[in-house]
Amino acid sequence: MPTNVNRWQARLDELRAAHHVPGASLAVLVDGRIHELASGVLHRGTGVEATTDSVFLSGSIAKVYTATLVMQLADSGALDLDAPVVDVLPEFATPDPEATKTITPRQLLSHTGGVTNDFTYDAGRGDDCLARYVQAARNVPLDCPPGTAISYGSLGYNVLGRVIEVLTGQTWDQALKDRIFTPLGLDHSMTLPEEALRFRAAMSHLGESGQDPEPAPDWDLMPRSAGPYGRVISSAADMVRFAQMHLNGGDGVLSADAVAAMQRREVDVPDKWTVSADGWGLGWTLYDWDGIPGYGHDGAAIGQYAYLRVVPHAGVAVVLLTNGGGARQLYAELFRELLGELAGVRMPAPFLPAAEPPAIDLAPLLGTYRREGVVITVTRQDDGRAHMRYEFVDGMKDLSPPLEMTLEPVTETVFAASGAGPSFSEDYMPVVFSTLTNGTECVYVGMRATPKTALRD
Q: Which residues are catalytic?
A: 60
List 30's β-bridge partners, or say none. Answer: 33
Q: Give φ, ψ of 140 to 5 degrees.
A: -90, 120
Maximum CA extent, the chain: 62
Query: DSSP for 316-328?
Result: EEEEEEE-SSSHH
Cα 394 from Cα 440, distance rounded (Å): 23
Contact 102, 115 (CB under 8 A): no
**Could you give the CA distance from residue 306 to residue 285 in angstroms, rounded to a whole number?**
14
Neighbours of 371 (CB within 10 A): 25
Contact 244, 29 (CB under 8 A): yes
Residues ≥6 apart with Cβ < 8 Å to 57? 202, 204, 220, 231, 233, 299, 301, 304, 306
Q: What are phi and psi of 297, to 5 degrees?
A: -170, 155
Q: Which residues, 6+ apart, have CB-to-CB distance to 194 below 8 Å?
A: none
Q: Looking at the chain, how many residues does it have? A: 457
Q: Which residue stretches of 77-218 are H helix?
A: 97-102, 105-109, 129-136, 154-168, 172-176, 182-184, 193-196
Mark out the alpha helices in 116-153 (DSSP H runs): 129-136
Beta bridge partners of 392: 374
Q: Which residues contact 117 (CB under 8 A, 6 or more apart)?
A: 143, 151, 152, 153, 154, 155, 446, 447, 448
Cα(34)–Cα(240) distance, integer angstroms = 8
